[in-house]
Copies of this chain bind each other. A is one copy, B any other.
Amino acid sequence: MAKRESNVDRVYEALRRMAADFAFKPDQRINESALSEVLGASRTPLREALNRLVAEGFLTFQNNRGFFCRPLTPSYILDLYEARVAVECEALRIACSRASDVDIAGFADYLDRMEPDYQSATELEELLSLDESFHTRLVQLSGNSELERMLKNLNGRIRYIRLIDLKRMRDQADGQAPGDVSAHRKVLDALRSRNVSAAVEALRSHIEKRREEATEAVRIAFSQLYVPDE
């Protein structure tokens, strides 16, 4: 019987979470020996996991200098959100012409079932997971596993920023409430009537709006990231 989760998997998961939450500060050099002690594994499996994270864009690597946390700049955030637009809009376009009525109905059901949770969610993490799952399921409707894979990767790297964004939305409460699913429903309605251009435009403007908010929020993120160690 094969062990479900190996040590490398465990290390990888822990590292991905740390990288996603910026437990490493941008551009910080990562000390392998210290990290391997913290994670309870030797450097060999640790480095394998680190290499995976480099390939996925969570970390960077320099010869003979080791692994570094990715930088966090406004243009990096912009790039990630633009990539999301590319992936999600094309997936939606494909879904409009290829997804079955049954699958779309299932997606609509899902949104109906989730809406109460969405509006009553208290934890930001919970809210973010719900939002992520909407977008993930949308891309899954395309049936394209490469697009799905790309979105998962982008979501992982963008997660921290979205958390900051959501937090600000809740605290300020000036624009739409964090639990507002109207934009999602607009996309769904257009998808249901197979109106490609309306669906894509609705999704595009939704993501771009979030991008603008996030770009603003990243300044706040910066100030939080560089809080001195205790």
Of B5, B64, B144, the contact of A79 (CB 8 Å cutoff): B144
Q: In the bound complex, what is the Cα–Cα distance between A138 and B49 (angstroms)?
A: 33
Q: Quick check: B82 and A2 within 8 Å, CB to CB?
A: no
Contact bitstring A56-91, B, C-beta under 8 A = 1, else 0: 110000111100000000000011101101110111
A52 at the interface (CB under 8 A from B): yes
Q: Please indicate the chain B residues that have their CB under 8 angstroms from the CB of A48 in the complex.
A: 47-48, 51
Name which of A23-31, A146-154, A176-184 contacts chain B. Answer: A146-154
For this chain, the copies found in one complex come to 2
A44 within 8 A of B: yes
Number of A residues whose C-beta is below 8 Å from B? 41
Q: How far is the CB of A134 from chain B (nearest CB, A)?
A: 19
Query: Given the complex of chains A and B, what is the CA–CA distance between A2 and B66 in angstroms?
Result: 12
On chain B, the residues within 8 Å of A52 by CB distance are: 51-52, 54-55
For A146, what are the chain B residues with a Cβ–Cβ distance below 8 Å?
57, 79-80, 82-83, 154
Chain B residue numbers with a CB within 8 Å of A94 are 82
Contact B57 A56 (CB under 8 A): no
Nearest B-chain residue to A145, judged by Cβ: B79
Report the nearest B residue to A86, measured CB to CB: B90
Which 7 pairs, one residue from A and one from B, show the smallest C-beta to C-beta distance?
Answer: A86-B90, A55-B55, A79-B146, A83-B146, A52-B55, A51-B51, A48-B51
Contacting pair A149 B63 (CB below 8 A): no
Select from chain B the residue with minimum beta-carbon distance to A63.
Answer: B6
Contact with B along A78-108 (1 / 0, CB 8 A): 1110110111011100100000000000000
Q: A51-B48, A89-B90 are in contact. Are A150 and B63 (CB under 8 A)?
A: no
CA distance A192 to B47 in the complex (A): 46
If A63-B3, A64-B3, A65-B2 touch, does A86 touch B147 (CB 8 Å cutoff)? yes
- Residues of chain B within 8 A of A91, CB atoms compared: 86
A115 on the interface (CB 8 Å rule)?
A: no
